[in-house]
Amino acid sequence: MDHLHDTQGRTLSLTGRTARQAADAYCVIETVLGPAFLAYNDRGISALLQAETSDLFEQVFQARFHRMAYRDSSPPAALLEAVRDCLAGRADPRQCLEFDLRGRSPFEEAVLRKTAEIPYGQVRPYSWIACEIGYPTAVRAVGSAVGRNPIPLLIPCHRVVRRDGRIGAYGLGGTAAKRRLLAAEGIDPDWLEHLARKGVRYIGDPREGIYCFPTCPHARTLPDERRLALGTDGEAAALGLQPCPTCRPAPRPFLMPSVRQAGAPRAD
């Protein structure tokens, strides 16, 4: 027998599969941006949202996901520990968490799962995601999919920036919240904006023969005498520099058949 609890503490008893289909459990967790509601079910984490009250969260959740959510009086300790570790950069969400992305199109799911690959303390442009999933011209569609991310912070859309390097918008509290999250991960938002104003999109290392995104660990540890400020990958190629194999700043020329077959935005 499964037991779910509503906001008044009433126990709702449903038998196994019926309970899992009927509702998601949720609890409140602490984040850099303050308290947030974490929803989850047998498939994985389904939402991470902020709301003024539990009642409002339940209303928003039901309207968005078309199923109910009930407050869990005893959230799984292992889940909470994994979430805390991921939020603090001590663990990779892809390795210790499962995500329930039902309702997303195959293209949107590909975007979100690629976003989840962006490491703690680094940023990538929307265009990087588009290229990585095989749709280099679908940057606008990528931005829309990122903007509808149901699990921000854990699927770290705050680490996605504009193509020119500017920080850009953010759905969970706006640009100020995005800057706060990046700063908490050791990224200076003013430094990012400074590079963007100067037209610097990459950092080259002539000794190693590679170029990186500015927040790549390799680029950030380079001594000044080895740092080359680059505006385009064409400049890097003209200097004989190859894309960093870690941050992969160059487009990847392939197309994901599963996404194409599902009717994703055209890439041509």
Q: Average pLDDT in the 19-48 region?
A: 92
List the domain range (segments joined by +) for residue 167: 106-243
Residues 76 and 157 in one domain: no
Same domain, 87 and 130: no
Query: How far is the C-alpha of 98 from the C-alpha of 89, rounded, in Å?
Result: 17
Domain count, the chain: 2
pLDDT score recorded for residue 250: 83
CB-CB neighbours of 230 under 10 Å: 23
Are residues 213 and 137 part of one domain?
A: yes
Does 69 map to a domain? yes
Q: Are residues 213 and 124 in the same domain?
A: yes
Same domain, residue pair 80 and 19: yes
Q: Report CA 139 to chain centroid distance, whole Å.
A: 16
Decide if 157 is catalytic: yes
Output the pLDDT for position 254.
45
Q: What is the CATH number of the domain that holds 37?
A: 3.30.160.70
Q: Are residues 85 and 182 in the same domain?
A: no
Do 75 and 111 share a structural domain? no
Catalytic one of 27, 86, 131, 157: 157
User: Is position 43 within any domain?
Assistant: yes
**Average pLDDT of the chain?**
89
Whether residue 266 is contained in a domain is answered as no
pTM value is 0.86
What is the pLDDT averaged over residues 82-92? 97
Given a cut of 70, whether residue 6 has pLDDT beyond it is no
Whole-number Å distance between alpha carbons of 1 and 207: 63
Assess whether 89 and 164 both reside in one domain.
no
Which CATH number is 185's domain given? 1.10.10.10
Q: pLDDT per residue over 224-262, tens digit each?
A: 999 999 999 999 999 999 999 999 998 654 444 444 434
More confident residue, 224 or 268: 224
Please state the rounded mean pLDDT for residues 95-120.
97
**Among 196, 194, 156, CA closest to 172:** 156
| Residue 254, domain member (yes or no) | no
Identify whether residues 78 and 122 lie together within a single domain. Answer: no
Query: Which of 96, 120, 148 is the endpoint of a domain?
Result: 96
Please list the residues that pair with 203 across neighbouring strands. 212, 229
pLDDT tens readout for residues 49-74: 999 999 999 999 999 999 999 999 99
With 70 as the cut, is the pLDDT of residue 9 above it? Answer: no
Verify that 89 and 113 share a domain, yes or no. Answer: no
Q: What is the mean pLDDT of residues 42-46?
A: 97
139-147 vs 106-115: helix crossing angle, rounded to 10? 80
Cα angle: 78, vertex 84, 89; to 5 degrees: 125
What would the pLDDT profile of 128-181 be if each residue is shown by its tens digit?
999 999 999 999 999 999 999 999 999 999 999 999 999 999 999 999 999 999
Residue 231 pLDDT: 96
DSSP E strands in the chain: the ranges are 2-5, 11-14, 23-31, 34-41, 44-49, 68-71, 124-125, 160-161, 202-205, 210-212, 228-230, 242-243
Indicate whether 128 and 236 sit together in one domain. Answer: yes
Note the pLDDT of residue 7: 39
